[in-house]
Amino acid sequence: MNSGIFNVFDNIFGDHDVYSDGHQISHSEKNIFGGEDIYSNGHKVIHTEANSLGGKDIYTNGHQIVHTEPNIFGGDNIYNHGHLISHTESNILGGNDLYAGGHMIAQTQQLGNGISILKYSDPLAHIDSYEMPSFHL
């Protein structure tokens, strides 16, 4: 596995394992609400539920932080307290491009049963971009 920001793999239970720099940092388990519970160091840190709009409601510490709705670009619109904060669009790599403030801030690629983040930029942290080589399964 190549080092980089994140690599996400399907595991044998149909859930996901998340790795950074070759080390597992979290895993998810499907829940009864049509979403996933995400654990880090044995503690649940994020809980998602399917919503009536075809997207997900995302919670931490029992409080909703964002919700998503499908959009016409094959991705999702992401809302915080009813305000659109970003959106994703499907890309030719089988992944998604994430946009905020009119600029692409992340790009993912689907390979086999994993996802790699290929590009990430954070204008608030003054990080221009991060390029990660793709991995092969």
pLDDT one-digit tens code per residue, 111-124:
666 666 666 555 44
Say if residue 107's pLDDT is above 90. no
User: Do 137 and 112 form a contact (C-beta atoms < 8 A)?
Assistant: yes
Give CA–CA dist 125/119, Å, rounded. Answer: 15
pLDDT one-digit tens code per residue, 16-68:
888 877 788 888 899 999 999 999 988 999 999 999 999 999 999 999 999 99
Say if residue 83's pLDDT is above 70. yes
Give CA–CA dist 89/72, Å, rounded. Answer: 9
Report yes or no on whether pTM surpasses 0.75: no
Residue 118, pLDDT score: 64
* Amino acid making up residue 40: S
Tokens of 10: 């399907």
